[in-house]
Structure 1
Amino acid sequence: MQRTWYKRMLLSFFPLLLVTISAIIFISFLVVSEISMKQAEKANRISTNYVVDVLQSTVLDIESRVLKEIETNPRIADFMTKNPAEDMRLTQYYLSNEIQKIVENNPYVHSIYLYRADDDRVLTQSFLSNAGGFTDQSFIRQTWSTDYNPSWSPQRMYTDSSLTPAERVITLSKRTPLPLGSQGLVVVNVDVKRLLSIVDGMLNQELSALKISDSSGTVLYAAGEDDGANHAGSMSSLMDSSVLGWTFESGLRAGQLFGWVSVISYIWIIIAALIVVASMIAAVYVFKRNYKPVELIMERIQQYQLRNLQKTKGYDEFSFIEKALESLAQQTMDYERKHQEDVHVRRKQFIRDLLEGQRTVTAAEWSDNAASFKLPHSFQRAVVAVMEIDKFSEFQTVYPLRDQNLLKFALTNAVHESVQQEHRHAWAEWLSNDRMVLICSFEKSGDNEEERLAQLLTEFSRWVPENLKFSVTIALGAMHHGLDGIQTSFRQALHALQYKLLLGEEKLIHYFSRPTRTGAELPKYYLRIAESVQHFRMLNDTWWDETEAIFQHVRDELLTDEEIRAVMRYWIHLLQTEFQDCGHERSGPDVQALVGSLHTVVNTAGQWEELASAFSGQLTGFYRTYHLYRSSRKHRQILLGMREYIEKNYANPELSLIHLSEKFDISAKYASQLFKDEYGINFVDFLVQLRMQEAKNRLHLTDESINGIAVRVGYTNAVSFGRMFKRVIGVTPGDYRKLKQT
């Protein structure tokens, strides 16, 4: 098919577009040139201002150093006053050396000399002479006759000897003592040539022009004007230095060219506007000529079957054509929708129903859907494997959602292809974000099919971390017959996966190789955890052995992942409850941080050893902090003494808060408060615990009578002892002895 209309439209609009864009580009160039000129002038002003600031700061720095030297150097005062206490020759010698050092340390200082008015003498860095024979005597006379001269002098010629040529300098003179003394002058000469050498390093003479003049109009520095007036550019910036008395004139060397471009830019803007108007007129003509084919299409559509299309608001020709095409497409889609559904969604729901048993999938239903779902029409035996991504929360953190879906897609294809290489048929579906189910079916019975599948999945669990950079744990159920066997095998795989923490990640867990449990009673763990937390809070070091014993019992009794996490969460809950009730100033924030980190460990750990190690490490760190904090309390010694006294004298029936207050010389209320704050338990409960513990030991290990035991643990009669024992332990003393003996 020839694209005649396309070529016609292209040849119609392309020249107009080309001309318009060319005009806009050229105008943009002119506008940019104008902006560049303004920016260059602004940059030139900033650069000139920077030159002025640098020169001013240099001479001001010299001035401040000289003033500081006048104020702080005692030899200057000795020289000016001819101090009789000092050897004047030695003073003059040292002072000359110091002047020489100042000149050598400042590259811009030409020379420094001192004038003493008392005997009309001048001291330079190399000699001492009369002012009448000094080469700079005219400047001295003029300056001394002036009452106040705060600024730097204009440029002048200076030499300290008739044998050396004079050089350009600017001079600062200060009377001594400061500010308007009558003893003499300190004269500092700054070399103008060296000072202006700073400007050479700061000025680009190819782009900028700069002229510096002093207050008398003498040109001190000129750059960028060596090519003549035609190339010097216009001096667009004028600045004065209040410190030096100099005038700075600067400009751009290409200033005339910029000015010419600025003038002609307005002419080209007018031309561009005319071009745009002409292009619009031409576009209207071309649109009108090319609209005729659209009118023909409209007429033909209306002549046929789409005359009933409704004209809506905003109706135009292309909307009409679009609606006609949408109507045809909608009719086609409605027809196809009756015969086609989303196979993927239906297949996923079908497999979920089959595995989870939400509804019974009959053999007839399986046969009806096998072809559309690409499932085997019939099979003898099947086995189910559940594949779970290890450390899924970390997987979600490391990879964005798009990469997660891509990796899971790659994992699905990889396991599907690996299994199908060895077996007749296999299909995989994701039941949740982190779990995928793999169903393998077999049409014939084989002795080693299940063993070969287990070996293949074991190798696949090693292949995943090497190639996909994350790991998976695979649980394999037993092989069963029929559709019901698929559900049974799925439940067995889920059961095997419950031992992932103890058996480890990145491996295959077979249902028949799972550990055989001896039976676990979670309430027993809760009691032992409560006792360990109590000892932990009371700073009893036995908590560590109790914690290790609990961990060992978890290993020995082979708790499932769900049971392990339930036990650990209960442990965390007890820690939070116990330490929040203690009322310490700092234990609250500390325990919140501990609880948060422990929850993170429990939720993210992939193996039991990792969980136990991190959990005990967190407890150990918190225990050390808590122990240090408690040891630093001022009442620590009092509480330790009270506790030691209670533990030794708990059998005393007279032991009470009043007794303790008299013993330790504190009020009963304060003793009770200290005890509660430190150990999180009131005095009475602590005393009862000690007495009951001793009573349990004697009931279990001795044949002593109950009355005798009651007296030994601090009760005056067996009735009150028995009542308290039953309330705390739950059984009477006699029943407790029978339970222990059996």
Structure 2
Amino acid sequence: MTKHSTIFRKFLVSYLIILIIPSIAGFVSYRTSIEVTQSVSIENGVTQLERSKEILERRMAEVEGFTRQLALNPDLNTLMNEKIEGDKENVYGIWNVMRQVMPFSQTNDFLQNYFIYLSNYDVILSQGSAYFRPEHYYDNFRYNDMSLAEWKSTVLDQHHGSEIMPLRPFTNNTKQTSVVTYMQSLPLDSFSGTSPATVVVIIDEENISSLLSGLEERYGGWTHISDAQGNTVSLHGIDEKAALLLSRDASFDPAKVSQFYNNDLVITIHSDKNDWVYQAGIPRHVLMENANQIRTMTWLVTGAALLLGLLAGLLLAYRNSVPINRLLGVMKEHFGKEGITGRNEFDFLQGNISRMITSNRHLENELNRQLPLVRDGFLKRLIAGEFQSGEEIAAAAAQADAHFQSQQGFVGMLRINGYSGMDSVEILNELTAARLIVKQMLLELGSDFLMTDLGSDRIVAICPATREENEFEEKTEREIITDTFEKLIELAYRDYKIHLTASFGELFQTLLEVSHSSEQAKQTMDYADYDNKQSIVWFGDSHLETATYYYPLDIEQRLISTIRAGDREEAGRMVQSVIEKNTDNRQLSIEMKQQLVGELKGTLLKLLDQKAFLESELQLTLKNQIVSVQASNPAAVIQEEIIAIVDALCGVISSKKSHAHIQIVEEIKQFIAVSYGDPELTLYRISENSERPEKYISQLFKEVTDTNISDYLEMVRIEHASELLRTNAYTVDEIAERVGYNSAHSFRRAFKRVMGIAPSSYRQSIKI
């Protein structure tokens, strides 16, 4: 009893004494955390704002570069300098220029809306359209605060030299938005008067705001950009009036990088290129969040430590400590700790393991809660055609827990009829309930379709094939799907008086074609509105045969993206699909066949003009092969020739990727060879040096060398340790420190794991 009482008293007294230290330290940490949090937030905010500024300036520089490329375009210069004779117009020249400049909008979202005004023709060229009367363009795209006459005199008839018009309200067809306008007169060496041509780039304010969205998402604050004259370029999370009051407030110093204003920490930076001012506001309560958590955790840990200390004292006094010693022995083995101080080790085990379990449970619950949203987002991206390869789809599907029984199937669209043009709150609530009912009924019919909403009155369903690939029959699959949707339409009307119309696209052979089948389903739905009384309509039944060839723009873009990704199999399959659709279902005239082959050759020539192929030794050979494809050859020969060219293009991409990967791995090896002695050398440090994500370099290193980075680092350290052990210049502990190990114990374990014997035994074997 005396022994037990002494142990209990010592344990209790030591805990009470130690308890005072974390309480004081917690209070000091809480006070210090305020300043630290503010400084870290300011640093992170400035860094993120600077990064957004650099991206915005780079995008604006690309817009300026776009106008310079137009200035060098020979066809555009020909149009600008042509003298019009009577009503004769160079329609082919205008079409040719439109075709040449159209791809620019795919490289920069700032170039999604632009036009070229030719003063001699009084014509406006935009993406996909030519307006031979500017008034027609103004009807669809106009500034809300500028009349037609003001627009002509201010934008079209004046000379512009890299001018930027501040933020203005703008109507894009029926969409109301705000835009910043960049204007440049052509040629570039003109200085005054009326210019032959004017390039106008209309930049949606949403595109500018998206570059600053990281600050808003992270801190929940606001951002504001103004030009040198104080005119607003972009704002989000703050209104125009509040921004104006801020700039005019005498207590606010615009020269300071960071300062508190009202309840916000305001970060201000200035652009050296165009004198724009970037401002971001971070709410004070966000800055204090981490500090408040520290205060709460301090009291919680203090109270828990007192209870755990009393319980541990009783257990240590009246029971043996074998289970605790075993746990501490395991921790000592894994972390290389030479001594045991009792309480600290117990706190480490008890506190961190329970915290880990709590965190894992919280993370699991949060992931389960977010899973439906992730799945819905994945389906929307799949339908919109945002994926570039099958591997990307497979990875995203696994993340969203979306399973496809087959790579083949159909895309269907369900529309709830009777609500067209009605958008009141009551109607939207009714449509939401109707969509939920329809999706639930479809699931109860035993279908495994993947569904997502499209607008307020439509549901898109991806219907994978229900049979194995060797048993697949398109006609049978269509009958199964038709029967299912006929039952759905009948039950929906009978039980809930919901009137549905269903439309379906053609069969998709891979998941990359889901977006195309979805677009066909949408077209079929539009067709059903005015030319069909049936409740279920298939694309093949509503499609009108035409004398033109099949090669839509989305197929061309997907083919380009697939070749850029180096996917030979998918690119070849797409070429084969295009040829088959133009030969099996169409009887093309000689002229149409020539145009189709010309379009395919044009697609391949576009790729050759890109940097990845310009630097290749095969560029000239591939160009000659593309040019040599003759439309007079049979379709099978043309298909074989184009697939061979596509295969060669993918080979160039794969070769460049392989070379780049090997180079990155060599850089990692060189960095490890120099820094292996640093005990803080981690995967994070290596990724920071490589300027690439940790997961990326880890997978890349494994693919190239078939070895994990951690194993390679350990091997390098052990090799250098072996060289030092061959001499008597250093002890084992000194060698462990020199090759980057925090303790001699962990070094001995690693050396024995790699070499099979202990370091001391290895040194003895060398002496023998």
Q: What's the TM-score, normalizing by structure 1?
A: 0.31
Rg larger in 1 or in 2? 1
Greater RCO (CA < 8 Å, at least 6 residues apart) = 2
Q: What's the TM-score, normalizing by structure 2?
A: 0.30
